Chains A and B, each alone.
Chain A
Amino acid sequence: MNNIRSSAAASKSRGLITEIFKNGKALITYLTAGDPSLDKTEDYVLTMAENGSDLIEIGIPFSDPVAEGETIQNAMIRALSKNIDLDGIFNVVANVRKKSKVPLVFMTYLNPLFSYGYEKFFKKCASTGINGIIVPDMPFEEQGEIKGFTDKYGITVITLIAPTSKERINVLAKQAEGFIYLVSSLGVTGVRSRITTDIDAIVSEIKKVTDTPVAVGFGISTPEQAKKVTKSADGVIIGSAVVKIIAEYKENAAPKLAEYVSEIKRVIQD
């Protein structure tokens, strides 16, 4: 009984995420929860959703984010200095859900979840309206850590594929749900002037084994870059560039975010 219900929930959440790729190229944006405040996080999620973000990644701050560059590290430090915690972030999610249907995905390191308790965490994800989760320090081999809970509560686990994945691509792509997060470059998150990876080649490798849409992230900030990667990919993920706008304009970033997000969306949909 429980199983039937939960697998239905899971396929519903996957469905919602996959949906965003149905009307042309998708734009996914990221922000760090609690930077500059939880109220503003709620405001900015809604602003981005209204201006063309098809899915929003909400970053859960962690003291030692090993996959992040300076921009997101600093945003997390700012958030943690205001004692942002998971209960506060779940409130933001619940409030956003009252006003918007935009799919929401958590981007988080494992330890804050582990500490909170997986059962409690994913139950809360489901009840507040989180659709999926991205865990940068949990490779495919360690998915067993949370899989029982994500299946139970219908939360989609997003798979990352990197330029170094090579022969792993096959296995990773086959089991992927929702969308595949293709990491554009080596290294950590952060704006880059040039993307040197052959994105098109990796995308076509992935497309051979799965219909799951592919979105490219890491280092992308300009409309030109977004346009370029979405030639082959189904969507683009922008994180550090958004976080930079928020860092610069703090409480007053909404107009700038609206402008930036709608510009990227316009360019990739052209």
Chain B
Amino acid sequence: MTKGKFGIHGGQYVPETLMNAVNELESAYNCFKNDRHFNEELTSLLNGYAGRPSELYYAGNVTEKLGGAKIYLKREDLNHTGSHKINNVLGQALLAKKMGKKRIIAETGAGQHGVATATAAALLGMECEIFMGEEDTERQALNVFRMQLLGAEVHPVKSGTKTLKDAVSETMREWSKRIDDTFYVLGSVMGPHPYPQIVRDFQSVISKEIKEQLMKRESALPSAVVACVGGGSNSIGAFYNFIDDKEVRLIGCEAAGKGVDTFETAATIAKGRLGIFHGMKSYFCQTEKGQIAPVYSISAGLDYPGIGPEHAYLHDTKRAQYVPVTDDEAVGAFEFLSKTEGIIPAIESAHAMHYAMKIAPEMKKDEIIVVCISGRGDKDVAMIAKYKGVNINE
């Protein structure tokens, strides 16, 4: 009976009110995913509007400084709207349009998914409402105004911990209030089936391109692909086409916040347990009584207590490895990449950069690490200044 399983993970744990909506989404997606016109339209949007393919950049300065494996950066930060989120959003918004929906709603953490959704709504002429934890609207005020400029209405979510998980809950509640004309554009590889599959498919363009680009440049597969993981959309996108290439190490970097030995962390694989929440069975940070735990990370985009079910499965089967990276380590990598290569990464992506910096020196010079730079860091500049105690007088 149960659908959308990755091993024991996944499923469709949503209220009855939403069951027909997720079923309708599943059949629409199955119908359009192999439709030639749909795919041509999407490819044309991805290339002509979002700026794909994104560059696979050889980071020569970084490679030299680290003195080990060659470092390539998959530049999702160069996409329109500044992150990988646009890949999935264009796919889902186009699907929404084909399904005859007039209004799209979405959750957002750092604001990147919200901005991408508001952008697609403006482009395709749809109404757009974004739900964002109140704390995140303060941490990422600039993105709130960006969304408003794009014509979206932004609802600060005041329930619970006022961050990403609460934004997801509130968007689910909103969806169950108004279903007929509304499409929920979910931003990560999480939630009830078919979302983990849809988002993964739309993001898998990242690994498809990495593979082609690296073949051309180096005639080789990478030794390792490193990406940050919150819900896990850029990482599953970067991993997906390498899953069958067993010699490629797949490494997901979780937000450890102030450390996995503290309560101020969001490292789900390191600290979480199996559970059922937000429509899926997967690993969640939770209390011993099964209440969802408040999580913390400097990065609003990784500040989520769960992880997508396919990642949970890749962890169970040991196909991918998940490592915690602290705030301090991420900020260090943020500054390192900015100064060494002239690329300011999103603080989320800096988590992945840190781990590449850690393993590269121990690797051989002919080995290759691809780091997914999932977004650009402009949104984080003010927060990094604050973190370092610098007054930039905004």
Whether the pair B169, A115 counts as a contact (CB closer than 8 A) is no
Most chain B CB atoms below 10 A, which of A111, A113, A138, A140: A111
Interface hit among B8-16, B35-43, B127-135, B341-349:
B8-16
A70–B166 Cα gap in the complex (Å)? 13
Chain B nearest CB from A174 CB (Å) reads: 15
Chain A residues whose C-beta falls within 8 Å of the C-beta of B3 in the assembled complex: 141
Instruction: Indicate if A267 sits at the interface (CB-CB under 8 A).
Output: no
Answer whether residue B176 sits at the interface, using C-beta atoms and an 8 A cutoff. Answer: yes
A166 to B18, CA, bound (A): 12
Asked if residues A114 and B290 are in contact (CB atoms below 8 Å), the reply is yes
> Contacts A142-B11, A164-B179 given: A183-B286 contact, CB under 8 Å?
no
Whether A67 is near chain B, meaning CB under 8 Å from some CB there, is yes
A204 at the A/B interface (Cβ < 8 Å)? no
Whether the Cβ atoms of B19 and A141 lie closer than 8 Å is yes
Which residues of chain B are near A113, meaning CB under 8 Å? Answer: 290
Does A112 lie within 8 Å of B17, measured CB to CB?
no
CB-defined interface of B226-265 with A at 8 Å, one 1/0 digit per residue?
0000000000000000000000000000000000000000
A247 within 8 A of B: no
Q: Which of B171-197 contact A (CB under 8 A)?
A: 172-173, 176-179
Could you tell me the distance between the alpha carbons of A62 and B20 in the complex, rounded to whole angstroms?
A: 25
Instruction: Count chain A residues whose beta carbon lies closer than 8 angstroms to a beta carbon of B.
Output: 41
- A85 contacts B by Cβ under 8 Å: yes
Residue A209 is within 8 A (CB to CB) of chain B in the complex: no
- A-side contacts of B289, CB under 8 Å: 85-86, 112, 115-116
Which A residues are CB-close (under 8 A) to B290? 111-116
**Contact in complex: A73, B159 (CB < 8 Å):** yes
Instruction: Report how many A-B pairs have Cβ atoms within 8 Å.
Output: 121
The verdict on B317 contacting chain A, using a C-beta distance below 8 Å, is no
Minimum CB–CB distance for B228 against chain A, Å: 24
Chain A residues, CB < 8 A from B274: 114
B2 touches A141 (CB 8 A): yes
Residue B273 interfacial (CB < 8 Å): yes
Q: Count of B residues near A, CB < 8 Å?
A: 39
Alpha-carbon separation in the docked complex, A54 to B176 (Å): 29
CB closest residue in chain A, given B277: A111
Q: Which residues of the partner chain A approach B176 to less than 8 Å between Cβ atoms?
A: 67, 186-188
Cβ distance A240 to chain B, nearest Cβ, rounded Å? 14
Task: Knowing A64-B277, A186-B177 are in contact, say whether A168-B13 is a contact too (CB < 8 A).
Answer: no
Question: Shortest beta-carbon distance, B262 to chain A, in Å?
Answer: 20
- Name the A residues within 8 Å of B166 (CB-CB): 64
Instruction: Tell whether, in the assembled complex, residue B15 and residue A137 are in contact, meaning their CB atoms are under 8 Å apart.
Output: yes
Which residue of chain B is the closest to A84 with respect to CB atoms?
B289
Are B276's CB and A114's CB within 8 A? yes
Q: Which A residues are in CB contact (< 8 Å) with B21?
A: 164
Q: How far is the CB of A186 from chain B (nearest CB, A)?
A: 5
- Whether the Cβ atoms of B15 and A115 lie closer than 8 Å is no
Asked if A139 and B14 sit within 8 Å, CB to CB, the answer is yes
Q: Which of chain A's residues 69-98 have a Cβ closer than 8 Å to chain B?
A: 69-70, 73, 80, 85-86
- 9 new A-B contacts, CB < 8 A, other than A62-B291, A115-B275, A138-B13, are A66-B169, A67-B176, A115-B273, A140-B16, A140-B19, A164-B16, A166-B20, A183-B16, A186-B178
Q: Which 9 A-B pairs have the closest CB atoms?
A: A115-B290, A187-B177, A112-B290, A162-B17, A63-B291, A110-B276, A160-B16, A162-B16, A67-B15
Chain A residues in the interface with B (C-beta under 8 A) = 62-64, 66-67, 69-70, 73, 80, 85-86, 110-116, 136-145, 160-166, 168, 172, 183, 186-188
Can you list 27 A-B contacts (CB < 8 A)?
Answer: A66-B169, A66-B172, A86-B289, A111-B275, A111-B277, A115-B273, A115-B275, A115-B286, A116-B290, A137-B15, A137-B276, A138-B13, A139-B13, A139-B15, A140-B1, A140-B16, A140-B19, A141-B12, A142-B2, A142-B13, A161-B16, A164-B16, A164-B17, A164-B179, A183-B17, A188-B173, A188-B176
Partner-A contacts on B (CB < 8 A)? 1-3, 11-21, 159-160, 165-166, 169, 172-173, 176-179, 273-279, 284, 286, 288-292
